[in-house]
Each structure stands twice: as C-alpha cells, then as structure tokens.
Amino acid sequence: MIESMRIIGAGGRVGSAVSARLAERGVLLDADDPELVLLCVPDRVIAEVAGELQLGPWIAHVSGATPLTALDPHVRRFGLHPLQSFSKARGPEQLDGAWGAVTAESDEALTVGFWLGEVLGLRPFELDDANRAAYHAGAAFASNYLVTLRAAAGSLLEVAGAPPEALDPLIRGVVDGGFELTGPIARGDWETVERHLDVIRAERPELERLYLALAEATASVAGHGTAKLQGVPRTESPLKVERTISGLRERLSGRRSGPVGLVPTMGALHEGHLSLLRAARAENETVVMSLFVNPTQFGDDGDLARYPRDDGRDLALAAQAGVDIVFAPDTTEMYPPGFQTWVDVTELGAILEGRFRPGHFRGVATVVLKLFEIVRPRRAYFGQKDAQQAEVIRQMIRDLSLEVELRVLPTVRDEDGLALSSRNALLSPQERERALALSKALATRDPDAALEQLRSSNGLEIDYVEAADFDPPVLAGAVRVGSTRLIDNVVLEGEPK
Ligand code: AMP
C-alpha cells in the first residue's frame, strides 16, 4: 500500500523499534518524497513538528494522549499508538503481539492506519479520538502505576529485610495466571488487612492512603463491597500543603481567631521534630510546620545536596501529628532573584558553630525571621538539640522586639544516647557506632574530661567541645564522622526554657 516513509524521531524508544521493523519489512525509509511521515517525537512537540512539514503525504503520530488536531493543518492524517512500554535495550520484537490504537477521521485514513499497524506486527483496533483520555488513563494504570506499585511494594519488603526483586516473579505470575485475585481481601480476611495497615502506619506512613485506596478497589473487584474497610480507622487528616507565601497568608487569614504555633523544620522528620509538633498541637489552635531545606545556612553545595529529603513521608508524619498546614516553599519563593537583606546576630552567631560554619547563623536567622513574618505565630518551637540556634533566635527576638514566644524543647535521643538528627541517616552502621562517643563524652558534663574522651575515640574529628553560657548553660560539642558533621549538647544547669 505504502512503499516509502520518513520517520521523525527514529532514535527514540518507539522510533527505533518502529524503524527496525519497517526496515525488516522492506519499507523504504528516509525517502526524499515519502508517502507517509510518521512522527515518533515527544507529545509536546508533535504540533510544532507537524506545522513545519509540507502538506501532501500522509502524516501520523504514535502518541496515546495527543488528539489528531495536533497534526493541523494536515488532513491526510491518523494516529497509531502501540500499546506497549518500549525500552531502547530491546528491538522490534517489542511490537509483536502488542495492540495498536488507530485513530482516524476517514475510511481511507483508517485503512492506512490498520495497514501500518499490521506491517509493524501490531494488532490494530479502532479508537475514537474523543475517547483518548479514558483509553490513555487505562494505559497509565496498567503500565506507569504498576511501576509505582512495584516501588511501594519494594519499600515494604525492605522494611521486612527481604529482597524487593523477589516480587518480580510474583508480578509476572499474576499476569501469566490471567489476573486471578488471591490474598486476604479475596478471602475476606480483614484482620490481616488491619495488620498490614498497622505496620504501614508505623513504618511507611506515606503508603497508607495508597494502600487504603487499593484495598477498597480490590474489595469491589472481589465483590465484597467496602463496608469492612470503612470500619478501619483512618488517620487521614485535613492537612493542607501551601507552597507559596501568598497562599499560606490567605489560608491563615481565616484562622487568626486562636493562637498559631510554628515549627520550622528542614524535613527528614524524626521523633525530635515530632516532639515539637506534639507540643505545638497541644498549645495552639493552628499548627504550621515549615518544610524548607534552607540553602543559605549551608556552607558548601555538597552538604546541601547530601541533606536527606523525603517529602512524602514527612507530609504523612505531619498529618499524623495533627499539623494543620505544611508550608513547603521552593528556594525562589523564599529567596527571589536579587535577594539581599540579611539578619546577622553578630556576636552569638560567630562563636562555636559560627567559627566552623561562617554565615550559618546569618542564614538561619534570616529564614526564621522571614518565617515569623509570613506566619506571624504566637509561639515558635525549637529543639534544645541545636542550643546555639535557639540562643541566636532568642537574641534576635529580643533585639528586634518580635512578638513571638520562643518554646525550646528537650533533646530527643535514641536509646543508646545518640541525639536524633536528620543527618544520622547519612551514617553507616560503623559510623553510627563511632558517633556515640559524642553523647557519651558530653554526658561527663566536664569540658576537659569530654575532650579527653573524644581524643581517645577512633574515627572522629573534633571541631570543638566547649561550655557555653547560654540560657540554660550547656556543654556543646561538634565532631565529624566520615563526611557527616554532628552536633550535640547537654544542659549544665536548669531546664531548657
Ligand atoms: P531541622 O529540621 O534539623 O532544622 O530541625 C528542626 C527543629 O527540630 C529544630 O528546632 C531542631 O532543634 C529540632 N530538633 C532536631 N533534632 C532534635 C532532637 N533530637 N530533639 C529535639 N529537637 C530536635
């Protein structure tokens, strides 16, 4: 029917498989005057590429989501979408047996589309252009979301200490077995489903919503209805996430009748953060948690890039802790181009941590003042773990007459004494073992004895161990373990305020 074609995008995933197959079938490719031009280009450039092509030959695209109008002004046109997930590592055999959706506006175009599908080794079928969205949503479920399910399932196997790749033959077995439903929901075993939910809430809270949605959908596939699941307690909360300053201000404007508590964090939440969130929840009508890895308090870009991040988990934990609003701006929202106004707590910001991290407290004070101004909290919550940070902020509040109550909560530690820190996630098991020397040395509450102990510990580089006359006074220390820097302190007298 058609003897010569030109393929635009022949180097891409679909284009390379299609080109190889057409070459096998003896179709002349790259002819000067092709009878059919096939666009194997990304969806977003189809219209642009089509617009540049001369009218005359047939023109077709291989997109599942793109309507035929993207091929304007061409009228001899159709779409042929191979329903397959292509890999560049494989060749034309990927087309064999896959179905191909042909979208056309005339019988002639439909005939050409079916011809091309068959030449490629596909099983062509007709798809109405108006029904593309439903068709493509189905395809996304079957292919893209299967990848998501594999990632979610794999992370739970990791929790169990089992190899995630053990799931792959299971997935293939379900497909090869014709999608027969087995397992607890098919059996109506709701106790097991509740045990799943318990461990998910404890270990992978970010998966709870996904699990519940799938369990409900699966109950309906099994013909059980969802009544049982509706009895399963849910921890979903009305948490709102705001990414812009104006959005946050607007949301807060309706909640000013009672006190607002602010908990600034850089994410990768642990029990230390959660203790602040719980205190804020108990004392305020509205709790705002900021989630912003503040670049201006990092000395070098490598440290910033290494900082652990897990927004999905953080949002789930914030929701569980009863946070009302998470403020998670991007860097340009907080530091628009041309930003040049800084808060420098000159003396307190220059000692201890300030000596080893010049500019660190300038970054901290600036972002905290900005957060205070955006959120205008009655109370703001910080951890004693970062004693100097709390002291710097106390000084800033006093110097600038800010109307906010500073609440500093005790350091939360692991059972062995190591202060919880987001950076602990960066430690290898051996490094974590070595890091314990810091809390042990500080527990002597004696600067000389602490320094002595640390000097005799292997694998640590000491930045400082010093008593500081903060409110309350502390013995503070900083060490480097491998490429991770850790700080800690113990209160020498009185209770943290
Ligand atoms: P970060 O996300 O590291 O900026 O910490 C956010 C807040 O949590 C700061 O006020 C920290 O002082 C506080 N924080 C961090 N670790 C702990 C901990 N182990 N115990 C109590 N508070 C902590």
Q: CA 190, CA 182: separation in Å to the nearest integer?
A: 14
411 Cβ inside 6 Å of ligand 1: yes
Ligand 1 centre to CA of 130 (Å) is 53
Q: Which residues pair with 72 in a beta bridge?
A: none
Ligand 1 centre to CA of 456 (Å) is 28
Exposure class string for 399-412: b at 16+ Cβ within 10 A, else e: eeebebebbbbebb
363 Cβ inside 6 Å of ligand 1: no
Per-residue pLDDT of the chain (497 residues; tens, 9 = 90+): 899 999 999 999 999 999 999 999 999 998 889 999 999 999 999 999 999 999 999 999 999 999 999 999 999 999 999 999 999 899 999 999 999 999 999 999 999 999 999 999 999 999 999 999 999 999 999 999 999 999 999 999 999 999 999 999 999 999 999 999 999 988 888 889 989 998 998 888 889 999 999 998 898 888 876 555 555 555 445 889 999 999 999 999 989 999 999 999 999 999 999 999 999 999 999 999 999 999 999 998 889 999 999 888 899 899 989 999 999 999 999 999 999 999 999 999 999 999 999 999 999 999 999 999 999 999 999 999 999 999 999 999 999 999 999 999 999 999 999 999 999 999 999 999 999 999 999 999 999 999 999 999 988 999 999 999 999 999 999 999 999 999 999 999 865 44
In the sheet with 77-82, reading across from the earlier edge strand, the strands are: 28-29, 4-8, 36-39, 58-61, 77-82, 99-104, 123-126
Nearest atom, ligand 1, residue 422 CA: 3
- Six token digits for residue 192: 């097991």
Q: CA 486, CA 363: separation in Å to the nearest integer?
A: 19
Question: Mapping DSSP to helix (H, G, I), strand (E, B) and coil, where does residue 400 land?
Answer: coil
C-alpha pair distances (Å), 453 with each of 436, 443, 460, 465, 487: 12, 11, 11, 11, 16
pTM over 0.85: no
What local confidence, expressed as pLDDT, does residue 320 receive?
87
Ligand 1 centre to CA of 401 (Å) is 24
Q: CA 129, CA 61: separation in Å to the nearest integer?
A: 13
- Six token digits for residue 297: 């308090």
C-alpha pair distances (Å), 459 with each of 36, 290, 424: 68, 35, 16
Question: Do residues 299 and 308 touch, judged by C-beta distance below 8 A?
Answer: no
Nearest atom, ligand 1, residue 264 CA: 6
* Radius of gyration, alpha carbons of the chain: 30
How many CA atoms does the CB half-sphere of 15 hold within 13 Å? Answer: 18
Q: CA 445, CA 453: separation in Å to the nearest integer?
A: 12
What local confidence, expressed as pLDDT, does residue 495 receive?
53
CB atoms within 10 A of CB 167: 16
Q: What is the DSSP letter of 178?
A: T
Helices (H), 61-177: 107-120, 132-142, 144-159, 167-176
What local confidence, expressed as pLDDT, does residue 9 receive?
94
- Six token digits for residue 148: 């998501």
- Six token digits for residue 449: 């004895």
Ligand 1 centre to CA of 363 (Å) is 16
- CA-wise closest residue to 457 among 467, 470, 444: 444
Nearest atom, ligand 1, residue 389 CA: 12
Nearest atom, ligand 1, residue 268 CA: 2
Please, what is the Cα angle at 329 between 272 and 353, to 5 degrees?
50
What local confidence, expressed as pLDDT, does residue 237 receive?
59
Secondary structure (DSSP) of 262-275: EEEE-SS--HHHHH
Q: What is the DSSP letter of 410?
A: P
Residues in the chain: 497
Q: CA 18, CA 92: separation in Å to the nearest integer?
A: 6
Q: CA 133, CA 317: separation in Å to the nearest integer?
A: 34
362 Cβ inside 6 Å of ligand 1: no
C-alpha pair distances (Å), 252 with each of 235, 241, 280, 333: 23, 12, 16, 18
Amino acid at 267: G
386 Cβ inside 6 Å of ligand 1: yes
Q: Which residues are catalytic?
A: 273
Backbone angles phi, psi at 333, to 5 degrees: -65, -40
What local confidence, expressed as pLDDT, does residue 223 receive?
81
Q: What is the DSSP letter of 477?
A: E
Ligand 1 centre to CA of 290 (Å) is 12
